Structure 1
């Protein structure tokens, strides 16, 4: 049976995620889910860390509004839809910010991008459109959604930055966070060493790795 992560520990994991990049987390947790690279930050340099509230938009604004009303501080609304029309805009984002949401991830389009880029709410989407969907469909009861075949579950932890969107259950993130922090520390120290004049190759087992590959032996490229 998988050990459940209590709420206070989940909050602690979210705080630790603030200190790592999506690359470090993905390297430390190869079974974590990485959403499609087409989902990009509307404004470069923004980050999201929070708890997923998944919404199947049904290509309609009503389910998205219902999801927004159910979300609160620290939540990340993860919305699925088709890339035809926008599923959120400036008024939606302003209300999300008022409610304390950590961010918005849309597997689809948004609009009012000029205002959204100036907003303090991080928004990730596949693109923009001036046209919005209608508001005529009821939300589905099933809280699970799928983004490009990857399931998004209520309570998943989300880390999004310029390199992409990574998510996993609190248990999955707990298993990866120590490694992610170690990777982050090691790479920051190595970058500082290279900036100070040391060679990357003094810290890399490239020759040993090449020899092992040439002899057909198992090997891993690694930093010393």
Structure 2
């Protein structure tokens, strides 16, 4: 699947994962977030790129093989089963990824060499750090380079990884353009609402909250989300 990495980076630069997650919700696309424990190692790091999956079995060779077949702008997504007893990625893998033109890494597991990784500057998101590397060597799965699991989600090259200070989100690559357009609309609505709050008009007034309460009293099944859609507000999605 052809993905324009420069275009992804450019459009995501003016958005957040929250905007895109809200767009997924509005478009009926599954909101696939990495668990909240997956956090940026490099402060201010942002990632947007095609998923390059790799399932770790105790040896670094799977990462080198994945990087060997990567395209510039890909995001190495490492599946180490969410383990917290070993680090599966260190500075040399991150350095190799940077040299190959990757956009960053998402690790469903731990990293080490934190200081060196931060000095390299390539965005890395992981569950945290520990000093020890793997002390095992398991059989390598046949699909080790085909898909990666992050939390409850399985992702692969047909997906795009987006990450920022709020966390990591995966979206289908073939829906990314539409989702970005919708996210931009949500962002612009929220900015207008924020400006109006700053000018003294409460959010409750903007979204007709009194009307919502009256409508809910008459129709108990009315949800606030339905009301927001009717009035063009953006808070929840």
State if a TM-score over 0.5 links the two structures: yes
Identify if the C-alpha distance between structure 1 residues 100 and 112 changes in structure 2 by more than 3 Å, giving closer, same or farther.
same
Q: Residues 62-211 of structure 1: matches in 2 within 5 Å?
A: 62-81=61-80, 82-133=83-134, 136=137, 139-142=140-143, 143-211=146-214
Q: Give, in whole Å, the separation in 2 of the partners of 1:8 and 1:117.
A: 28
What is the CA deviation profile of residues 155-197 of structure 1, one whole-angstrom value per residue up to 9, with x for unaligned ones?
Answer: 4111101112111222232332221110111112322332344
> 103-112 vs 159-168, which deviates more?
159-168
Identify if the C-alpha distance between structure 1 residues 47 and 140 changes in structure 2 by more than 3 Å, giving closer, same or farther.
same
Unaligned runs of 5+ in 1: 1-5
Query: Paired residue for 1:46?
Result: 45
Query: Paired residue for 1:3?
Result: none
Q: Give, in whole Å, the separation in 1 of the partners of 2:39 and 2:157.
A: 21
Query: Paired residue for 1:34?
Result: 33
Unaligned runs of 5+ in 2: none
TM-score of the superposed pair, with normalisation by structure 1: 0.86
Match status 1:56 vs 2:51:
no
What SS is found at the alignment partner of 1:127?
A: coil
Match status 1:23 vs 2:24:
no
What SS is found at the alignment partner of 2:89?
A: coil
Work out whether residues 55 and 79 of structure 2, in 8 Å CA contact, stay in contact via their aligned partners in 1.
Answer: yes
TM-score of the superposed pair, with normalisation by structure 2: 0.82
